Chains A and B, each alone.
Chain A
Amino acid sequence: DVKVTQSSRYLVKRTGEKVFLECVQDMDHENMFWYRQDPGLGLRLIYFSYDVKMKEKGDIPEGYSVSREKKERFSLILESASTNQTSMYLCASITSGGGYGYTFGSGTRLTVV
């Protein structure tokens, strides 16, 4: 089975801190995604990457950046955390054929205080 691993399940950070959320997948998938999940809003795409060092903005990129230096790892960076970034963050990966849909990580619940 493809595994997508997010390094932290729960995080509490202070306003203004720089926050790194890490995601690693073990099936050589080209495409990786970061979503945030909020009640009533579903999943909203923050950034995605279709290859190493390649990235594209999703629907809500403001306040975030990403890094993909290796194929298996896709990092989400909150440059200066704010309380409105308190959310569940989900990482996903998919092979370029698209075929079987995404595989999701278990999520990181981030609270910014």
Chain B
Amino acid sequence: AQSVSQHNHHVILSEAASLELGCNYSYGGTVNLFWYVQYPGQHLQLLLKYFSGDPLVKGIKGFEAEFIKSKFSFNLRKPSVQWSDTAEYFCAVLPGGATNKLIFGTGTLLAVQP
């Protein structure tokens, strides 16, 4: 079955530290890839997405992610986190096909300490 794995369930960082959140998926065909963020008390928002082309994609608020096809990975990165980045982050995969069903990872809770 298709699945998405986020290896870090809970990450605690100090401000200005670098961030990398892992995401791996299991699907051999064409995929669209997404990172969503949910700030405390708010709804899910799209952080960035990959469809095709340059495997390094840039999103909002200084986030970026790199698609490595050979590793089935789409890791999220930020060089220097801020307290306001405290949130839950979800990786999601849209397998090629007609159903448009996004498959989500279990999420990573990021806490940034001032």
**A interface with B by C-beta (< 8 Å):** 31, 33, 35, 40-45, 48, 50, 58, 90, 92, 94, 96, 98-102, 104-107
Contact = CB atoms under 8 A, between A and B. Distances in A.
12 contacts: A35-B104, A40-B107, A45-B101, A48-B99, A94-B102, A99-B32, A101-B92, A101-B102, A104-B43, A106-B42, A106-B43, A107-B43
Interface residues of B, number: 23
Determine chain B's interface SS by DSSP, over half rule: loop
B46 interface: yes
Nearest to B96: A98
Contacts, number: 55
Contacts of A101: 32, 34, 36, 46, 49, 92, 94, 102
A21 to B, nearest CB: 15
A66 to B, nearest CB: 15
Select the residue from A33, A41, A43, A107 with max chain B CB neighbours within 10 A.
A43
Contacts of B43: 90, 104-107
Contacts of B9: 40
A42 B100 contact: no
B49 A100 contact: yes
A1 B44 CA distance: 15
A96 B100 contact: yes
A107 B41 CA distance: 10
